[in-house]
Amino acid sequence: MNIIECTLYFIKSISNLVKWIYAKIVGILDYTKSLFGKKSTQCVLVFSGIAILIPVIILAIAKTVQDWDDAPDRGALVITKAMFGDGFDKVFPGKNYPQYMNWQGWDPEDSMWYYTTTQGSDLIPYDFFMVLEQENATALFRSTENIDRYRYIPLRPTYHNPDGLPLGMVKDTYAGKDYMGFTCSACHTNQINYKRTAIRVDGAPSLADMENFIIDMSKSLKATLKDKDKKKRFIDAVMARNGFKEMLTASRNYSSEKEVEVDLIKFSSRVEDYVFINHSRLKDGRDLTYGYGRLDAFGRIFNRALQHILNKKQITMILADVIAAPELDAILKDVNDSVLTDNEFDHVLERIKPLLTAKQMIDLNDRIFNSPNGPVSYPFLWDTPQHDYVQWNGIAANAGLGPLGRNAGEVIGVFGTLDWEEEEGFSLLAYLLGQKNTQRHISYNSSVDMANLERLEDHLKKLYSPVWPEVVLPKIDNKRAARGGVLFEKKCVACHASIDRTDPKRKVIANFSRVKDVGTDPTTAANVLAYEGYSGITEGQYLNVGIGNLLMEEKMPVAALLTLVTKNVVATPDAEKPFFRRWEIFIMSLVDTLLNNDIEASLKRGDYDPDTTINPFASLMAYKARPLNGIWATAPYLHNGSVPTLYDLLLPKKNPGDPAGEYRPDVFYIGSREFDPVKVGFISEKGKGSRFDTSLPGNHNTGHDGDVKILTKAQRLDLVEYMKTL
């Protein structure tokens, strides 16, 4: 980028920033005027002039730099030979299709910023990810071929991604060290291939296999520890990244080989623990593998929260259930303050693991955690900020500070560093959050980046659903689509209302149906309702759940525990920042979220069981319907991804005794990016992806079939053609 381009970008960014600041001030003035009258506006004007001066300078720089990564192909790395034979030569939108650059309302720089902005996720040290070899090879774990194997999207180096990290994997700096972690784009961006053209769809559900990505990373870390030659190469490579030149240009992560080895042991153990804790099992003991494009995000977020709220009192009590008294006494003699403390809760299991046998660890795990055996497809993100309730079962309300809480909960689940500890002394903030002990309080410091979470949420408001790209895919049959539109109005629109996809004031009302009524697999909703855990550091606190307060007893629904700790994380300023800067960021994030959020608290729509004092989470035993704009780009279908194409969704489930005919497939394969424009979904071929068996609990493809049994094949094709236009 030359000096003229830089100057133009700077002027453009300053202009946009002035408009943004003006809108914020007008919003604050209107709000305060409505509350306190005209005189209050004078005070606000004076305060705004002082308070905004420094943030204006910082934001001017940030917004200018944000627009510098304008790769027209959105950083795409062309792969001619891919994992399942679905290679590509061209990219849409990209330089071959210049008129479609802001196809979804985002310019290339908008997409690149979304891909590369950290949320505070810290999976492993950044240097480790850059040099880690695969378990049984010297090839790098992050090699293009390996990343493609997990169906993450490889990228080439660009301005904001100089190391060419895969899409959605970013560098985060916390407590003076660099880490590799995820951002939301890793799970909510997809690529659809058709006749060797790759269609990038921002906000679409990913095909990524995160489960095996983490499992194989754990194996690679353990192999590096065990293999002398592999370990030496690893340590040498890490130290080469921390030489004199690197010390002059960036923060130095390691100054000795011993430090590298200590962290290798620590993070190998942490990733292994994550895999162990989140092993997915059915109730009958069989393993459940998610496969491509699915994850039990709820279950894993729940488990990570449970892991970090354990305290000495409760884990000692749990150990007493696992280990006989004489042996327990011997173990507890070794549990000193360096292993298990009253005031530090980060990675308790990691510190106590060396004291237990493998069987004892399994028993302990089963008593503390819940099996994440309700995998779902990653939801698509367009229109998310405009929703009243989000997630498949509407667990998260979008009103007020809801978006910050929802996104903070996501970062807790995807490896945010959680430095939660008990501190001496009174904290007004803790007191206001329900911690009534005036002598001690829980500090919820973490790597969760609230400022970036607010910016990302605001950024998503500009994202539109994708329109069927006829320049790449076959043209829509308008006559057939018109007939399908008539059928859609009769059979679908009651639950799936239409919206104007580009209306900045649009609001999306989710329509809920009881699981037992809609008939789809109940596992996801049932787990959220049923899973419990030890309250640990939250015991004795209160949580308002809308119909009253819940007192945190020894064991509580995990949904309540996660809500409580997330609320505390959101309300905790970033301790990494200088005092005044941390409070400035904290206040601006909250105010920005409130002023930019048009969604107000409202009742849920649809047929569901209401929350009661006896069952305060009853409404979560339901699934939501939403507008279907962009649905063509979100295969596979149903919340758990159990139906491969839109055409298959319009077929009934085959039950014993049903006559011969067309039915939803009981087994199919998912993982190929190659698109079927007739049935609308990804092709299913044995050997090209993971095998999806719909007979397993959590995988059922039942329900949501309404009147489809009486549709003819022609009518189904008409409906599919119409849904391409949404």
> What is the percentage of the chain residues whose pLDDT exceeds 70?
87
Domain extent listing, the chain: 3-66, 90-277, 294-368, 377-463+522-620, 635-726
Tell me the average pLDDT across 142-166: 96
Banded model confidence at residue 411, pLDDT cuts 50, 70, 90: very high
Max avg pLDDT among 332-346, 479-493, 568-582, 695-709: 479-493
CB-based burial, 228-245: b 16+ in 10 Å, e otherwise: eebbeebbebbbebbeee
**Which three-class secondary structure state does DSSP give residue 681?**
strand
The pLDDT assigned to 41 comes to 52
- Identify the pLDDT of residue 89: 95
Confidence check: pLDDT of 350 > 80: no
pLDDT of residue 385: 92
* Token pair belonging to 404: 């910050």
- The pLDDT, as a whole number, for residue 21 is 60
Residue 425 has pLDDT above 70, yes or no: yes
**What is the predicted pLDDT for the residue at 286?**
92
String of DSSP letters for 502-562:
T-TT--B--EEEEHHHH-S--HHHHHHHH-EEE-GGGTT-EEE-SSSEEE--SEEEHHHHH
Position 589 scores a pLDDT of 84
Residue type, 476: I
Q: Which of 105-109, 214-218, 249-253, 267-271 has the lowest mean pLDDT?
A: 249-253
Instruction: Please check whether residue 204 is in contact with residue 466, taking contact to mean a CB–CB distance below 8 angstroms.
Output: yes
What integer is the mean pLDDT of 381-393?
Answer: 92
Q: Is the pLDDT of residue 88 over 90?
A: yes
Look at 185-189, 253-257, 438-442, 698-702 and tell me which has the smallest mean pLDDT. 438-442
CA 518 – CA 389 distance, rounded (Å) = 18
Of the pLDDT bands very low, low, confident and very high (cuts 50, 70, 90), residue 4 is: very low
Least confident of 329-343, 496-510, 655-669: 329-343
Query: 597-612: per-residue pLDDT in tens?
Result: 888 889 999 999 999 9
pLDDT top residue among 166 and 432:
166
CA 516 to chain centroid: 28
375 within 8 A of 288, measured Cβ to Cβ: yes
Dihedral sign from CA coordinates of 152, 153, 158, 164? positive
pTM greater than the 0.95 cutoff: no
pLDDT in tens, 613-640: 999 999 999 999 999 999 999 999 999 9
Q: Which residues of 632-656 are buried (b: 16+ CB within 10 A; e: fewer)?
A: bbbbbbbbbbbbbbbbbbbbbbbee
pLDDT-derived band at 1 (thresholds 50, 70, 90) equals very low
Q: Is the peptide bond before 665 cis (omega within 30 degrees of 0)?
A: no
432-483 pLDDT per residue, tens: 778 887 778 888 999 999 999 999 999 999 999 999 999 999 999 999 999 9
**pLDDT over threshold 90, residue 39:** no
Confidence of residue 245 (pLDDT cuts 50, 70, 90): low
Query: Taking 50 as the threshold, does the pLDDT of residue 11 lie above it?
Result: no
Name the pairing type of β-strands 440-446 and 418-424.
antiparallel
d(CA 415, CA 124): 9
Question: How much is the pLDDT for 442?
Answer: 87
Annotate 523-532 with b (16+ C-beta within 10 A) or e (fewer): bbbbbbbebe
Q: Which residues of 612-624 are buried (b: 16+ CB within 10 A; e: fewer)?
A: eeeebbebbbbbb
pLDDT band at 582 (very low <50, low <70, confident <90, very high): confident
Q: What is the mean pLDDT of residues 397-414?
A: 90
Q: How confident is the model at residue 514 (pLDDT cuts 50, 70, 90)?
A: very high
Instruction: State yes or no: cis peptide before 659, omega within 30 of 0.
Output: no
Helix (H, G, I), strand (E, B) or coil at 644: coil
- The reported pLDDT for the residue numbered 302 is 95
Separation CA 167–CA 144 (nearest Å): 11
The better pLDDT of the pair 224, 69 is held by 224
Q: Is the pLDDT of residue 584 over 70?
A: yes
Top pLDDT among 482 and 71 is at: 482
How does residue 3 score in pLDDT terms, banded at 50, 70 and 90? very low
- The pLDDT of residue 2: 41
pLDDT of residue 340: 55
Mean pLDDT of 113-137: 97
User: pLDDT tens digits for 561-571?
Assistant: 999 999 999 98
- Percentage above 90 pLDDT, the chain: 65
Rounded CA separation 74/63 (Å): 18
Note the pLDDT of residue 430: 82
Query: Euclidean distance between the first and final Cα of the chain, in Å?
Result: 38
Q: Is 70 exceeded by the pLDDT of residue 334?
A: no
Higher pLDDT, residue 310 or 151: 151
Give the contacts of 632 (CB within 8 A, at least 6 positions apart): 466, 468, 646, 680, 723, 724, 726
CB 118 within 8 A of CB 181: yes
Give residues with Cβ within 8 angstroms of 42, minimum separation 6: none
The predicted structure's pLDDT at residue 604: 92
Mean pLDDT confidence for 503-509: 90
On the question of pLDDT at 226 being above 90, the answer is: yes
| Across 535-543, average pLDDT | 90
Residues 452, 119 contacting (CB under 8 angstroms): yes
User: Which range among 29-38, 235-244, 311-320, 575-584 shows the weakest confidence by mean pLDDT?
Assistant: 29-38
Average pLDDT over residues 139-163: 96
Residue, of 19 and 165, whose pLDDT is higher: 165
Give tens-digit pLDDT for 278-324: 999 998 989 999 999 999 999 999 999 999 998 878 888 888 888 88
Q: 35 in helix, strand or coil?
A: helix
**177-186 confidence digits (pLDDT tens):** 999 999 999 9
**What's the chain's average pLDDT?**
88
